[in-house]
A and B are shown apart, each in its own frame.
Chain A
Amino acid sequence: MSRTQMTTGAICLAAVVALAFVPMIVDAYHLALAISLLQFTVLATAWGMFSGPTRYVSLATTAFFGVGAYTVAVLGEQLPWSLVLLIAAVIGAVMAVIVGLSTLRLSGVHFVIFTFGLAELVRQIVVWYEVNKTRVLGRYVFVDITQNDIYWQLLALAVIVFGSGWLIARSRFGFALRIIGEDETVARHCGINVTIAKVALFTITATFMTLVGAIMAPRFTYIEPSIAFNATISFEVVIMALLGGAHRLWGPALGAIPLTLLFDFLSARFPSTSTLIMGVVFLLIVYALPSGVVGLWEKLKAWRPSASNVRGAQA
């Protein structure tokens, strides 16, 4: 067991090292694609880390993403970059704690609606503030961050996200989360502080999403609420995580990577109908793969022995 773990660890390390060299060998377009892949991998994985065990469907991704991007837009030119990222992370975490404490008692569809509203609420607060206080809407992000820097930061963040997901899964905290996911009442009876556990997990994953927004902001140059708080991001992340399968740590990545590539392929080949085709693809995913790629893979694994039995019987 520990031997396989070490092998897996070595493979992961080698993969990360290899990925770190990507900006040196690819052109600007493939770097842009790699940035998209990493961005959605981190967002979908962070989403799955929270929604997998707790089974809450959150549409708040863009709220945190946008807060991160806006922090950079406001502070980017005044403070050193690492400090800006730190402040973004703190703001995201504080917001997640407040939101978590007030909403994680909601369940099911109420939570979905609330998180969707949250993104709009944050956006309207930003608009109100900019309109009435600063009297400028739309900020410029001129910081000295290259595309390579963005890529490397996202890669580092991806490593941190997967690392913390792995650690959480192996901790008492992770065990508690799984019990909560199975049955919240049972978890409460076992003496687990359900609210604290959920809020903690929500905060950790929301902080990752905020950081993605902050790291991506220099790529936009110009930020206004409609760009930073784009609801499409929330939906794309949910669909990617669902396609991959949110109940495994590496599941959402299996959805994020093919879908990002597919979106890119569609917009390159079918520039005028890509959105239409995407809609059909989404429908097919939900219909054909209700438990995602991971679920399909697990089903195949379970099915294989019986398949060989059938073959044996025929022979």
Chain B
Amino acid sequence: MVSAVKRLAAGLLAVAGAASVGWDGAAEAQTSVKIGYAISRTGPAAGGAAVTTIPNYELWVKEVNAAGGLKLGDKRVPIEVVQYDDRSSAEEAAKALERLITQDKVDFILPPWGTGLNLAVGPILNKAGYPHIASTAVTDRAPELAKRWPNSFWLLGTSADAAKTLVELLVKLRTEGKIGDTVAMASIADGFGIDLSGAARPALTAAKFKLAYDKTYPVGTQDLSPIINEVKALNPDVFIAFSYPPDTIAITEQSRISGFNPKIFYTGVGTAFPLFKQKFSANAEGVMGIGGWNGDSPAIKDYLARHKASAANGAEPDRWASAVTYAGLQMLQQAIERVGKVDRAAVIKDLQSGTFDTVIGKVKLENNMPTKYWWVGQWQDGEFYGVGPSGNEGARAPVVPKPAWKAQ
């Protein structure tokens, strides 16, 4: 199917080339735009890549090629994909990207999944002059990295910002008299949990919250009931878990079982996953978590429908990095089409300064980072709406206190 489109496009191009006498020889060689990526199909990062990244790459390529390809000048050129498995290893990702650049000579490269791998490939993409749109990396060094590698764009923001937004929301709710000031915080002893709790701790103290519980648990902890039981005995108003998908599910399940129902129940990565809704259905209601999107916007509704139609088994996107990943692809496409040819330096410049129309709204980067992020989302009526920062377009009012768990 794709190759038929490609052949047709190539044929049309050849005709066009023959018709325009005296056409510059260099441009006619562009019969396809080669897009390469190395993604984790195996190893510990495979789960995240399969939910957030791969379906979006496939959706985007499918849509662009169905429209005839990327618009370069006045013609459309189909996308040709070269892809590898980085086996979730930094060394393998680095090698795969070097292969894409020097062997396959791809025109553009899409980023790997996750913070670690994006950082590992940063220097390579910078040296080779490829735009690097990191849409699944959360790192506090993002502003510094953007300066170091001007070709890199950090669409998911910093963990300090995430923690700050959450605390701001808590302060607002306390002022409104909806919550008290006892907070319990549990975090996973891994990059994400450590960074976020490290940023939240001083912010909570500065806002004069009482941190009644503040502990970490190791990666791979199966039984989280001791934590939940201990926290329940402290009876906090706010429970924050900076958790990863498996423990996000386990913590929520355990809280439901033991009837631990604080006014604010916040969990980490995975809360925004479609899996969360499938597992907890009505009990997801009122749970807060990292991420969120403007679920009322027609662009997001349309994106959700297209994603479901395209992905295997009709999988839904996650409500955090999925839309950002897709927006990153739209930005790349718009930048390439505005430049009108495969000129990577010009595309990087356009990404730095241009304004882009995406599924997450209008995006204009400042210092290679967006100015708006969704940091706190909440399940309301079966959709994970963004509730913080409250100034974002489409932000819903948080439902506080969280409704009681229903018997399943």
A residues whose Cβ falls under 8 Å from a Cβ of B: 27-33, 36, 124, 127-128, 130-132, 135-138, 140, 142, 216, 219-222, 224, 226-227, 230, 232, 264, 267-268, 271-272, 274-275
Contact = CB atoms under 8 A, between A and B. Distances in A.
Given A138-B191, A222-B119, A271-B41, A36 B91 contact: yes
B101 A221 contact: no
B30 interface: no
Given A127-B189, A221-B120, A267-B96, A135 B90 contact: no
Given A29-B101, A268-B99, A135 B115 contact: no
24 contacts: A28-B127, A29-B95, A29-B101, A29-B103, A33-B95, A128-B189, A131-B194, A135-B194, A136-B195, A137-B194, A138-B195, A220-B90, A220-B120, A221-B90, A221-B119, A221-B120, A224-B116, A226-B116, A267-B92, A268-B103, A271-B84, A274-B85, A275-B85, A275-B87
Interface in B125-142: 127-128, 141
3 smallest A-B Cβ distances: which pairs? A222-B119, A29-B102, A29-B98
Interface in B306-321: none
Contact of A227 (B85, B90, B102, B103): B90
Contacts of B216: 131-132
Contacts of A226: 44, 116
A275 B101 contact: no
A219 B120 CA distance: 8
Interface of B: 41-42, 44, 83-85, 87, 89-92, 94-96, 98-99, 101-103, 115-116, 119-120, 122-124, 127-128, 141, 148, 189-191, 194-195, 198, 216, 218
Nearest to B201: A135
Given A135-B194, A136-B195, A275-B85, A219 B98 contact: no
B198 A135 contact: yes
B194 A268 contact: no
Contacts of B95: 29, 32-33, 36, 264
Nearest to B116: A222
B128 A272 contact: no
Nearest to A220: B90
A221 B122 contact: yes
A136 B198 CA distance: 8
Given A32-B98, A222-B120, A267-B96, 20 more contacts: A29-B98, A31-B98, A32-B94, A33-B95, A124-B218, A127-B189, A135-B198, A136-B195, A138-B194, A220-B94, A222-B90, A224-B191, A227-B90, A227-B120, A232-B89, A267-B85, A267-B87, A268-B99, A272-B41, A274-B85
